[in-house]
Amino acid sequence: MGFSAIDYAVLVVYLVGITIFGSLFRKSHRSVRDYFVGARKTHWLVISLSIVATETSTLTLIGVPALAYTVYARPEQGGAFTYLQVVAGYIVARVIISVLFIPAYFQGDLLTAYALLARRFGEATKHFAASLFLVMRALAEGVRVFAASLVLAAVIGSSLPGFPHLWLWSIVLVGLLTLVYTFEGGIAAVIWTDLIQLVIYIGGSLLAAWQLLHLVPGGWPAIAAEAGAAHKFAWLSFSLNPTLPFTFWAGLVGGTFLTMASHGTDQLLVQRLLTCRNQRDSQKALITSGFIVLFQFALFLTIGVMLYAYYRHAPLPKLTTNDEIFPAFIVQSLPHGISGLVIAAIFAAAMSNLSGSLNSLASTTVLDFYQPLARGRQSEAGLLRLSRWCTAAWGLVLIAIAIVARGWGSVFTAGLSIASLVYGPMLGAFLLGVLTRRANQAGVITGIAVSLACMLLVKNLTPLAWTWYVLAGTVVCVSVGYGVSLAFAPGGLNKGSDTP
């Protein structure tokens, strides 16, 4: 069918509308605290939905259906639904974070995740961990912005063939529009636009699934038969092969450690937890989000399976990569108007994740690095102004990284692999902080550095699946960090207590 004037109108209305809506929150900011954590009056369910929207990037929305479309069942690795084993780990981790980390974050008046490390170990540890976060989040988010460019390239390319550098223009468009409302509206804009964007991308995905049901001759029974013949619905794999990313053990154990790091130590998501009214609301928001994510992944995997059944009979579009399969279907096969809405849904996921990243990068830069150096010499108005311009600077950095990310391979695995390399050292540092008293700053910094070096070697020299990266990095960081702390503690190995 192609992208029509109606579809363009729907997409433009969404992009302009969400930008204006987010910008309206500017008037609610009187201090840097308002800009980064808000007034802590938002209902926990809204924050829970914001958590889901923030962790659901374009990588998820186009990468997960592509994964289900591509994967064929093999005896040891299961089928398309094996990713749900990782989601099981996501839920387990949320319970652990609620018991282990959230109470620590609500002791005192912390505004960033890394302030916890400063309170426990000192400023040097905070700066080291915060620096790792800035690098990791910038690289991972650049991949996500590039993923969004694949969507716009598919859209414009279908109706304006020969248009030069589509991916580049789409990166600039998504980046600049998201930057405008994040610059103006701060965390309040991020949370409330997240809510709208989640409704749009879930609604759009459901519309695409509904259309697929009607496009495949025979409906769901035919889809189930096609997918069943390819063993697409197989979701359990008890293989002990550590090179397979989606097995029961990699999912449950690896997924748990991955989420403990991403939701318990990454400022992108910890910032949401800190905007809750109190500790209990924060725990409810986090745990509830896990079950919403489970539904979401099941939906996206089902869409991938439905696409597989559909293209068994329909002509397969020309693709550069399988990541384009879902956007290509939307543009070529959905009715006018609906196609524009679903494309807007994919942009919603991209902008939601990007806005959260911009605000968290700016908050870490200002609160963890600049404010301690200023030592009260900067007024609240000056800090607020600086926070906005830090947001703008990070926006330009992410756009630049997204342009470079074009040659990094599959957007889904590239984004998760980058984060997983750093998450292990980060999680190890936080565990040493909340579980032990004998760990000290020298030990933790050494543990982080050694763990990061080991993980770079693991990625480049071994076939270990990325789902195990966080566990491996955490074990190295905790072991080295605790050992060095004992060796260099006053009184040597026989002094101190092992209990927190």
Query: What's the rounded mean pLDDT across residues 174-179?
Result: 85
Q: Whole domain around residue 328: which residue ranges?
A: 5-408
Q: Measure Cα distances from 117 to 93, 110, 230, 368, 487 in Å.
A: 20, 11, 49, 11, 21
User: Is 452 part of a structural domain of the chain?
Assistant: no
Task: Determine contact, residues 53/268, Cβ cutoff 8 Å.
Answer: no
**Is 142 a member of any domain?**
yes
**Three-class SS of residue 114?**
coil
Handedness of CA 356, 358, 360, 363 (dihedral sign): negative
The amino acid present at 487, given as its one-letter code, is A
Per-residue model confidence (pLDDT) at position 496:
38
| SS3 of residue 78 by DSSP | strand
Q: Which residues contact 449 (CB under 8 A, 6 or more apart)?
A: 425
Span 440-472, pLDDT tens digits: 999 999 999 999 999 999 988 999 988 899 999
Query: What confidence category does residue 54 fall into, taking pLDDT thresholds of 50, 70 and 90?
Result: confident
- Between 136 and 285, the more confident residue is 285
User: Which residue's structure tokens are 């050494």?
Assistant: 446
The gap from C-alpha 74 to its chain's centroid, in whole angstroms, comes to 29
Reported as type and span, the H/E element at residue 240 is none
pTM: 0.86
Q: Which residue has the higher pLDDT, 233 or 492?
A: 233
Instruction: Name, of 74-88, 234-248, 279-293, 398-412, the range with top average pLDDT.
Output: 279-293
Domain contains 53: yes
Residue 482 domain-assigned? Answer: no
Query: Which is more confident, 154 or 113?
Result: 113
Residue 487, domain member (yes or no): no
In this prediction, residue 158 has a pLDDT band, given cuts at 50, 70 and 90, of: low
Contact 201, 425 (CB under 8 A): no
182-227 pLDDT, tens digit per residue, is 888 888 888 998 898 888 888 888 988 999 999 998 999 999 998 8
Higher pLDDT, 68 or 480: 480
DSSP 3-state of 173: helix
Q: What is the CATH number of the domain that holds 204?
A: 1.20.1730.10
Binned at pLDDT 50, 70 and 90, residue 500 comes out as: very low
Q: What's the pLDDT score for residue 343?
A: 79
Residue 39 has pLDDT above 80, yes or no: no
Neighbouring C-alpha atoms within 13 Å toward the C-beta of 361: 29
Q: In this structure, is residue 488 part of a structural domain? A: no
> If we measure between CA atoms, which residue out of 209, 148, 205 comes closest to residue 406?
148
Look at the chain and report how many structural domains it folds into.
Answer: 1
In a domain, residue 460? The reply is no
Q: Is the pLDDT of residue 391 over 70?
A: yes
Cα angle 202, 90, 227 (rounded to 5 degrees) comes to 60
